[in-house]
Chain A
Amino acid sequence: EIVMTQSPATLSVSPGERATLSCRASQSVSSRLAWYQQKPGQAPRLLIYDASTRATGTPARFSVSGSGTEFTLTISSLQSEDFAVYYCQQYDDWPLTFGGGTKVEIK
């Protein structure tokens, strides 16, 4: 099973600042990585797939770099609606696995 590790667990950021979230895979997943955003009381929402392709409706301030085992999600200028929990998910191999999440909170 591919283990996905996200860091930090919690990130405190002021509105307008940049947020950098990390996702690491225990073995290479190539570019088969997705990111989701989950707000309290809501289902996760797809943000990014194929490592760096923004899903429909994902603002351009969300970008991803990396491939293989190390990925970084960057939110260039945090807006109020961006405070949420973010999960990465690999789909290179079965079982499909998620990281433990990074909570982005208001500083």
Chain B
Amino acid sequence: QVQLQESGPGLVRPSETLSLTCTVSGGSISGYYWAWIRQPPGMGLEWISYIHQDGETKQNPSLKGRVTVSADSSKNQISLNLNSVSAADTAMYYCARFIGSGSRWFDPWGQGTLVSVSS
């Protein structure tokens, strides 16, 4: 059974870069799409970006090009970098898998990691 675990600093200063890692266990990252999704406290869900192990990526235009995602097959990890953060980026950040271009529902999800942006 595939399991996902997000990790990274819980506090980031404004204008700096948020960096998170998603470690996948119980299966390979190869052949699947891996997404980042966030949820501000008490609010709804926002898709951020995805990456396929072959390097294909896409990001939500709402993030205005601030997102970089990467995949490391040797470590079975997916990474997210979000630059120039502000308080509006404070959220629970989740990684999740989807199967393919016609099957873009998310399953499973990691437990999430809370990131606060504050000086």
Contact = CB atoms under 8 A, between A and B. Distances in A.
Contacts of A94: 58
A44 B44 contact: no
Contacts of A97: 47
A34 B47 contact: no
Nearest to B112: A43
A55 B47 contact: no
Given A43-B94, A43-B110, A43-B111, A98 B45 contact: yes
Contact of B107 (A32, A46, A87): A46
A94 B47 CA distance: 10
Interface string A69-87: 0000000000000000001
Which of A1, A44, A87, A98: most chain B Cβ within 10 A? A44
Contacts of A96: 35, 47, 60, 104
B46 A98 contact: yes
Interface in A49-99: 49, 55, 87, 89, 91, 94-99
Interface of A: 1, 32, 34, 36, 42-46, 49, 55, 87, 89, 91, 94-101
14 contacts: A1-B61, A42-B111, A43-B94, A44-B109, A91-B98, A91-B105, A94-B58, A95-B47, A95-B60, A95-B62, A97-B47, A98-B45, A98-B47, A99-B44
